[in-house]
Structure 1
Amino acid sequence: MNTNYSHLHQETLQNRFGLRVAARLSSGAEALPHDIGERLRVAREQAVGRRKQPAAVVRRRTASAVSLNGRTATLSFGDDGLGFWGRLASAALVVVMAAGLVAINVTQSDSRTMEVANLDAALLTDDLPPEAYADPGFLQYLKTGSVGTNAPAAR
């Protein structure tokens, strides 16, 4: 059984026992005279004030090194498990993520450039009347790729 667990279990049992004793004493205190009841109440408040507070649960580990500097000593617990290979793997992941972001940016930039170039080529090579350029649906017409297939011959 873990030492911390057994210590906490023991404190829990002590607290339960204390609550049962307090309940029993409280039930019997009603029949006592007033002055004795007041002294018991004051004593109970003092005992509660002195009660040991539960300690915080602390994770215990063994120090890997002790460094001495003059009259002071410092405990070293080492790193959190990231050795050379762990740090190298982390750095490799950062490099791969950066390369991926650059590749996405280049791909999107090339895609936009090709879209604009195709639109310009369609505008420059097609026989369209000047009124077509003023039409609000003209850009949509060019994007759907219908240029040259259903274009009316205006002369």
Structure 2
Amino acid sequence: MKHLDEALNQTQADQFGRASAALLTQGAQSLPAGIKDRLHAARMKALSMRKAEKVRVQKPVFAGITGNFSSSSNGMWDTVSWTAPMLVLIFGLIGIAQWQNDSRITDIAEVDAALLTDDVPPDAYADSGFLAFLKNGPLSDSEDSASQLSSSK
């Protein structure tokens, strides 16, 4: 709708300009020669200083694969420009997940190795008396036995 209004206004402006030029041409014929020459010089100066007109170039518009209307000149590069960062993001997230999974497996393996190489058998960890063993473990027994040995001497 906006383009239609602009086209009508442009058409009306062109018609007004032509009508004004026709009236000025008719009126200029009754003027003396000196005034005609000055008007002609002023008109030429105004025409030389006017702004260059903008020329509209219509590009063909086609529907792309995504259904959006776009010019066909950059269609492939537009697709690559948003898919490349998406692919980098997806592969980055997959890499981070893999790294975290490997880290978790390494941590579990370290705990398992510590349990299997420890002096305490793995069944002791499931025993309800294990906490008491840790609190009153062999260190407290060795201190008690050491104090008993020193007192008996």
Q: Same fold (TM over 0.5)?
A: no
Structure of greater relative contact order (alpha carbons < 8 Å, 6+ residues apart): 1
Q: Who wins on radius of gyration, i.e. which is larger? A: 2
TM-score, with length taken from structure 2:
0.37
TM-score, with length taken from structure 1:
0.36
